[in-house]
């Protein structure tokens, strides 16, 4: 069984995402709607569940396409080996540990301070520093990072407040 997951890890992850999304969608029915409005508290969990299911399906399809292309080029026996090569040489395992730790630290700070400072300012700061941590030093363009970090939270805030009529966390600043 473990060998199956190692050989088909993207397919297995895609299936797990789809199953999790089904669970989230079903669980959203237990959320009580106090006021009869078009976009209620069930909307976002269902939206996330549908997005997770779509992404899970995309992951499965991508894995199938990649495996078929490899099988056409090098033969079926080598396809399994090429997809399940030694984990020490895969790009996923070569991720900079500082980036992972930086991301975890930024997420902890973001979640702990969002109710103090509000969604917009904390999201601007989080996105800027997250982009800074994940972008290679030779590709960093501070003006682009600032532009995206400012426009995305403002756009999300406008969408949720003016279109969905849902309030995002507010704090001392916003």
DSSP alpha helix (H) spans, 28-96 = 43-74, 76-83
Question: Which residues have C-beta within 8 Å of that of residue 24, sequence separation ≥ 6?
Answer: 45, 48, 49, 52
The pLDDT of residue 100 is 86
Given pLDDT bands bounded at 50, 70 and 90, which one contains residue 89? very low
Phi, psi torsion values for 9, nearest 5 degrees: -65, -35
Alpha carbons within 13 angstroms on the beta-carbon side of residue 50 total 5
Provide the token pair at 2. 């473990």
Tell me, rounded to whole angstroms, the distance of Cα 126 from its chain centroid: 15
Phi, psi torsion values for 86, nearest 5 degrees: -55, 125
Given pLDDT bands bounded at 50, 70 and 90, which one contains residue 93? very low
CA distance 119 to 167: 10
Higher pLDDT, 96 or 12: 12
Domain ranges (residues) in the chain:
2-93, 97-163
What digits encode the pLDDT tens for the residues 12-43? 889 999 999 999 999 989 988 877 777 778 88
What digits encode the pLDDT tens for the residues 60-82? 999 888 888 877 777 655 555 55
Question: Which residues have C-beta within 8 Å of that of residue 167, sequence separation ≥ 6?
Answer: 160, 161
Given pLDDT bands bounded at 50, 70 and 90, which one contains residue 51? very high
Sign for the pseudo-dihedral over CA of 40, 162, 153, 116: negative
């Amino acid at each position: 069984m473990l060998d199956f997951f190692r050989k088909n890890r993207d397919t297995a992850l895609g299936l797990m995402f789809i199953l999790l999304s089904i669970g989230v969608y079903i669980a959203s029915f237990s959320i009580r709607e106090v006021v009869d409005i078009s976009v209620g508290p069930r909307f976002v969990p269902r939206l996330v569940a549908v997005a997770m299911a779509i992404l899970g399906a995309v992951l499965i399809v991508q894995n199938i396409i990649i495996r078929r292309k490899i099988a056409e080029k090098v033969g079926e026996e080598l396809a399994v080996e090429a997809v399940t090569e030694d984990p020490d040489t895969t790009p996923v395992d070569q991720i900079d540990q500082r980036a992972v730790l930086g991301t975890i630290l930024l997420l902890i700070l973001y979640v702990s301070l969002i109710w103090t400072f509000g969604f917009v300012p904390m999201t601007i700061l989080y996105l800027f520093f997250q982009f800074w941590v994940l972008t290679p030093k030779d590709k960093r363009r501070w003006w682009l990072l600032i532009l995206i970090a400012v426009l995305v939270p403002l756009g999300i805030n406008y969408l949720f407040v003016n279109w969905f009529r849902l309030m995002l966390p507010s704090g001392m600043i916003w």
